[in-house]
A = this chain, B = another copy of it.
């Protein structure tokens, strides 16, 4: 692992932890960005993140969660590592290493805090092309988007973009905006049955036509992966 260097005297690269937090609202995939308050890229949109605080963070996961909470008041329902980006050119201050997380949440968790604040905002991923984004964060968001799409094809992960109680129609809609293609409701229902992650509430909710069954995630279950992808 390491050679015989003393910690204090070794020249470490700049190390940060960022998060790509997605949600789905109004049929659009949105990513949470914050406005940079300091150099470099002051005033531009960037991924929420920062430095590890070794006194309070048990590990990097905690850094990611803490920074999301501090900057945007959001606690994501799903969090996993995306990738670690490194190199000389990605930060004008010098060689940098950034551990990037991939996170999901229902939009509810945040609306109160975020929509009123000017320096943190949900941005439609589709409108990102014309937006100026700090560092290589636009590229990173695109990578995260690909990861989310793949996960939507073979896992139940998109449920973490939904509120506590939700219908098959909402689940289907979230999946469709993520993968950019319609899917059969039948396929969704089959997967819900097979995964055995959800339980029906004794409640139904109006939805324009016949009332829709409400579901919620069973307590203590892990995310389920399928052995076959939905069609691309």
0 or 1 for each of A204-222: is its CB under 8 Å from B? (1 = yes): 0000000000000000000
Q: A93: shortest Cβ distance to chain B, in Å? A: 6
Q: For A91, what are the chain B residues with a Cβ–Cβ distance below 8 Å?
A: 1-2
For the complex formed by this chain, how many copies does it contain in all? 2
Is the pair B228, A1 in contact by a Cβ cutoff of 8 Å? no
Seen from chain A, the residues whose Cβ lies within 8 Å of a Cβ on chain B are 1-5, 7, 10-16, 18, 36-39, 46-47, 49-52, 54, 58-60, 81, 83-84, 86-88, 91, 93-95, 97-99, 134-135, 137, 227-229, 231-232
> What are 30 sample pairs from A and B whose C-beta atoms fall under 8 A apart?
A1-B47, A1-B49, A1-B135, A2-B16, A2-B49, A2-B51, A3-B38, A3-B50, A3-B51, A4-B39, A10-B14, A10-B51, A12-B12, A12-B13, A12-B14, A12-B51, A13-B54, A52-B95, A52-B97, A54-B88, A58-B87, A58-B88, A59-B86, A59-B88, A81-B83, A84-B84, A84-B99, A86-B99, A227-B229, A227-B231
